[in-house]
Amino acid sequence: EVFVSMLAADKLELTSCIRKNAVELKAKELDLHRGNLEAVGTQAAVLAGFAICMALKVDVPDGEQTTMECIFYFFSCVTLTFNLRCLALTASITVMATGLALRGPDGSMVKAVEGMHEQRGVVFKSFGIGICSCCCSIMSLCWMKMHPASALVCNIMLVWALFFMGRSTRAYQEFFGYRESDTCRLDDVLGEELVQKEAIVRQLGVENETLIRLLAANSRERNRDADAVDL
């Protein structure tokens, strides 16, 4: 009976250590997503300021090139709209997700991290549209303010820049991309019979040798039971 009580206490201590270290790992992932979103939001705020300056400070020749003027103001408004949208999304996601993670019920840390991971695509798309529309507004501005030959050269450079940014973004997505089904979860690792669980526990920061030996003995016992069933 005393031995059973000791095993129960060791199991409880092991569970507490694993949960504590798992929450710390999720907290690091939360900080990672928050830093990424804040960086994108800062750049979106800068581009929104540029869009306001373009719409208000640029002198357009009176009565000339009405079509290009409409195109310029259209893309300036698109730039402002999507960058402000990106800024609002980053602020909302960051504030609400961190509040949920720190003040929510049990399991809120995982929910907050997964939510930030899912919503980052919307933020990045809005930021990308803002960059493209900013380049398009500059292209139309070149036709209004420059000689046609100079405007053509500047437009070719801007089109090349857009193409290069798109190709680089796609290449980086393929290089750093992964399938969500291949991601490693803590419960999947601890539930896998082919992995040495005591090594995983060591990586999580559990230093109690008794608990690690108990977990190793439990794994060996389960393997013997599985072999006996197969025979």
Whole-prediction pTM value?
Answer: 0.69
Give CA separation, 219 vs 16, 190, 231, in Å: 19, 11, 19
- Contact predicate 160/73, CB 8 Å: no
30: phi then psi, degrees, rounded to nearest 5? -65, -45
For residue range 95-114, list pLDDT tens digits in order. Answer: 998 888 888 887 788 888 88
pLDDT digits (tens, 9 = 90+) for 114-138: 888 888 889 999 999 999 999 999 9
Q: Which of 229, 230, 202, 228 is nearest to 215 (CA)?
A: 202
* Tokens matching residue 116: 């930030």
CA 37 to the chain's CA centroid: 7
What was the pLDDT predicted at 189? 42
What is the CB neighbour count within 10 angstroms for residue 65? 15
Tell me the per-residue pLDDT of 1-47, one tens digit each, with 9 for 90 and over.
555 566 666 666 666 676 677 777 788 888 888 899 999 999 999 99
User: Residue 187 above 60 pLDDT?
Assistant: no
Nearest to 110 by CA among 79, 118, 65: 118
